[in-house]
Structure 1
Amino acid sequence: MNIVFIHQNAPGQWRHIAAHLAAEGGHKIVIIGKHKRVDIEGADYRLYKVSPAHESPEPGNPESLFASFIGHGKAVAEILKTLLAEGFKPDVIAAHPGWGESIFAKDVLPDVPLLHYCEFYYRSKGADYGFANDTTLEGDMALRARNAGLNLSLEAMDWGVCPTNWQKAQHPASSHDKITVVHEGIDTSVVKPDPEATIVLPTGRILTAQDEVVTYVARNLEPYRGIHIFTRAAELIQRQRPNAHVVLVGGTGVSYGGPPADGRTWKENLLDTARLDPMRTHFLGTLAYDRYLKVLQTSSVHVYLTFPFVLSWSMTESMSAGCLIVGSNTQPVQEVLRHNENGLMVDFFKPEEVAATVCDALENRDKLRHLREGARNTILSGYDQAAHCIPAHKQLLLDLAAGRRPALSHTPSATLGAA
């Protein structure tokens, strides 16, 4: 096949299937993006630039966001035109539509199937917006306007792929009959339990699986991923468990939502309100992947909290690593976690409940080993990259390239919670 993958942080969510096809041979792969994040041997990368205004649209300004969307689409359209002029025509295009990059793909190549990675569609009710704050009419209207580009993308695509059923359900019902559910998958041969793993702290101290290690991971420490709840719970945990160490992985920027009103980071803001033991609280910042895995493998209890939003890779990776997980009872988590089967569920808004559940889990680690096994088996039975997800993505591309209608579901929902 001739395949074009499009993602501003190239190759983004297409990383695993693109790498597999490149290694398999027999395919010509072009990856279009704004930044080259991962090098895939054998792939032809084409990078584009947009104007400063389109690079940094005004937050909360639908007109600016839509102009940025169009600007990204025009930049990618020029690359597609260049590829055609060079004699390269793809059999299928796979793109993330979130920044507008593929909006004109069907105008340049009208007879080439377009697959979109349908990550998230914004809703004024039932998802992240209004989950923790009051809504306003102005906010509702801005959110609808924000979806303008996504609606154009849904109209343009021939097919879509979505990692979870809940994320698919956020999209308009009219698009559901052309969106397949299949996760990007986890490399379970790498992300696996390791009882010998250790965490080397900045102080030089080494934590092992024999210690009480409560872990928390997010791309950035922010409310969308429950950092404000976790820090309050961590204070209570440390009071009740004098040997418990709290290890936090994540940056201090903002991935979702906005910064605190006082202009500081969420970490700075929250440390003023939570009395954490500095000798037993360890902010590790962003880590190289191998060090991040060591944190999961050493964890006694791993806490994952989130707004109703995109399910983090760290959640499925913590399950694959065999963590004892305490997760929020929000919809994305409910799709992969089953209370007392492969983890423990808590109310997102109740730090006291989070703390009590973590303390009980620390006290009864040996009795709760089946939860670790259940979490690992959930990933093995339906989210394993080599056995399930990469073959499903490949079949999706083959079907589209051949003009066949793909299967609507490769979801492992029937095996969730299997032990």
Structure 2
Amino acid sequence: MRLLVIHQNFPGQFGALAAAWAARPGWQVRALARDTAPGVASFGALTRYRLASRTAGRAAHPYLRLMEAATLHGQAAARAMLHLRARGFTPDVIVAHPGWGESLYAKDVFTDARLVHYCEWYYRGTGADVGFDPEFPATFDDRARIRTWNGLHALNLTHCDAAVTPTPWQKAQHPAIFHPSIALQHEGIPTHELGPDANAALKLADGTVLKCGDPVITFVARNLEPYRGFHIFMRALEQVQRRHPTCRAVIVGGTDVSYGARPKNAANWVEHMLAEVRVDPARTHFVGRVPRQQFVRLMQVSAVHCYLTYPFVLSWSLLEAMACGALVVASDTAPLHDVIVPDVNGTLVNFFDVPGWHRAIIEALEGGPATLARRREARRTAAQYSQRRGLEGYDALIAGSSASRLAPTTDEPNLARRSPVSRYGVPALRDATANGSASCRDR
């Protein structure tokens, strides 16, 4: 098997998958990414492409700038693929994240390769992330630009041999006409490396030592910004600290912008929110982005893990927190309905209800007889997203198989009895071949 993995920021969602494939005897696995991609030290077969000196410019219509950028990325990636072909590498299968345009011309270079697209998101002008937060209203231009940008995502669905998306909510965002040809398969998290630890302890940079059982509130996002509810969390934290004099908050994330825009009156959203709310700096720890082992330790000492998101893609960090047995308080937004059953494996709170967040966090800190059961059920839910299940599902997509495996394996204890029920017309918590659509079909 000759396999090419394409992701602008490789490894992205494909790290564990690419490593597993590369370790198989007889498999030749290559990866293609932009020159800015982080890569993986243990994966040396990575080709990096560089954009030509010409970039998407202001001369283009504003609605078309993203499409022009995608075309430029696709062209640069195609040149790199032509180079791979000239050196004798012709893949049997290409697995690609097409969201930035890299795989636009993959089938023109490798005409006989099976192309599997990871369809992470399909934008909507209303009903999802855009215009969700009244603090940041969407304009007509925003919605028109999004409709135009979806031209790329529709094209990605029409020229692949198989399409895959990770959650029911994300699948439901795609036009209904494509639903029969999109398989549902999460790529998986390392559940085998995650779990609770009653002896866990974490030392912060200022010398503070946190232990399992301490009143620790955690919040994690790639970047601290409104899309992941940072502004709502900070407003709630102000109230929580007034009532609970010993709790500490550990906030993980950078100060860049992954989604949306920067604040108009501050350099970043941390600075903006610290000017708005009054929190105790001695008990509020901004730790930036942390190494993986430190993140795991933090989830193991967490007394309550707060996760908020606009109606957008679900974060790996939430599933990993659940796999560590964290007590989750999450926003009652559509993506969470795929994984959280209220009062069973977590708590849901209206995204904008700051007093409600305050009450839910205090209740979680105070504990109670239901706490242990919710932590246990969170682990059961997260076990359904194991890397083993992800690999099996992607293997079926690569092969074009229609085989189905719905029963839990030995490392995934009886999960079906409390699985969330999807509200989006597609089955919840099933692997890629469960809907029988692996022949053509998101971290």
TM range (shorter): over 0.9
1:21 alignment counterpart: 21
Shift of 1:365: 4.6
Structure 2 CA distance for aligned equivalents of residues 78 and 169 of structure 1: 34
The verdict on how the C-alpha distance between 1:54 and 1:119 changes in structure 2, with shifts beyond 3 A counting, is farther
Equivalent residue in structure 1 for 2:386, among 381, 384, 387:
384
1:2 alignment counterpart: 2
2:149 alignment counterpart: 146
1:373 alignment counterpart: 376
The verdict on how the C-alpha distance between 1:416 and 1:326 changes in structure 2, with shifts beyond 3 A counting, is farther
Structure 1 CA distance for aligned equivalents of residues 56 and 249 of structure 2: 37
1:199 alignment counterpart: 202
1:242 alignment counterpart: 245
Secondary structure of 1:243's counterpart equals coil
Secondary structure of 2:390's counterpart equals helix
Larger relative contact order, structure 1 or 2 (CA cutoff 8 Å, min sep 6): 2
Tell me if structure 1 keeps the 8 A contact 2:92–2:112: no
Return the letter of the residue paired with 2:386. Answer: D
Return the letter of the residue paired with 1:110. Answer: T
1:276 alignment counterpart: 279
Tell me if structure 1 keeps the 8 A contact 2:224–2:253: yes
Q: How does 1:154-173 map to 2 (within 5 A)?
A: 154-173=157-176
Equivalent residue in structure 1 for 2:227, among 224, 228, 233:
224
Shift of 1:12: 1.6
1:286 alignment counterpart: 289
Structure 1 CA distance for aligned equivalents of residues 60 and 280 of structure 2: 36
Tell me if structure 2 keeps the 8 A contact 1:58–1:65: no
Secondary structure of 1:260's counterpart equals coil
2:46 alignment counterpart: 45
The verdict on how the C-alpha distance between 1:409 and 1:6 changes in structure 2, with shifts beyond 3 A counting, is farther
1:119 alignment counterpart: 120
For normalisation by structure 2, the TM-score amounts to 0.88
1:78 alignment counterpart: 79
Tell me if structure 2 keeps the 8 A contact 1:374–1:418: no
The verdict on how the C-alpha distance between 1:27 and 1:61 changes in structure 2, with shifts beyond 3 A counting, is same
User: Identity percentage over the alignment?
Assistant: 40
- Aligned-residue Cα RMSD (Å) equals 2.4
The verdict on how the C-alpha distance between 1:241 and 1:311 changes in structure 2, with shifts beyond 3 A counting, is same
Structure 2 CA distance for aligned equivalents of residues 68 and 409 of structure 1: 40
The verdict on how the C-alpha distance between 1:299 and 1:56 changes in structure 2, with shifts beyond 3 A counting, is farther
Secondary structure of 2:122's counterpart equals coil
Q: State yes or no: 1:331 paired with 2:334.
A: yes
- Which deviates more from structure 2 when the two are superposed, residues 134-143 or residues 178-187? 134-143
Return the letter of the residue paired with 1:268. Answer: E
Tell me if structure 1 keeps the 8 A contact 2:329–2:347: yes
Q: State yes or no: 1:349 paired with 2:339.
A: no
Q: State yes or no: 1:183 paired with 2:190.
A: no
Structure 1 CA distance for aligned equivalents of residues 54 and 125 of structure 2: 27
Shift of 1:32: 0.3
2:441 alignment counterpart: none
Secondary structure of 1:295's counterpart equals helix
Structure 2 CA distance for aligned equivalents of residues 355 and 49 of structure 1: 48
- Which deviates more from structure 2 when the two are superposed, residues 98-107 or residues 139-148? 139-148
Tell me if structure 2 keeps the 8 A contact 1:182–1:410: no
Shift of 1:81: 1.5
Tell me if structure 2 keeps the 8 A contact 1:192–1:321: yes
* Deviation readout 1:231-270 (Å, 9 max, x if unpaired): 0100111111111111100011100000001242100000
1:106 alignment counterpart: 107
Tell me if structure 1 keeps the 8 A contact 2:192–2:386: no
1:303 alignment counterpart: 306
Return the letter of the residue paired with 2:121. Answer: F
The verdict on how the C-alpha distance between 1:55 and 1:184 changes in structure 2, with shifts beyond 3 A counting, is farther
* Deviation readout 1:314-368 (Å, 9 max, x if unpaired): 1111110100000001011111001011001100001110110110111125541
The verdict on how the C-alpha distance between 1:202 and 1:58 changes in structure 2, with shifts beyond 3 A counting, is farther
Q: State yes or no: 1:211 paired with 2:214.
A: yes
Shift of 1:56: 9.0
Q: How does 1:127-142 map to 2 (within 5 A)?
A: 127-133=128-134, 134-142=137-145
Structure 1 CA distance for aligned equivalents of residues 346 and 60 of structure 2: 37
Structure 1 CA distance for aligned equivalents of residues 339 and 61 of structure 2: 32
For normalisation by structure 1, the TM-score amounts to 0.93
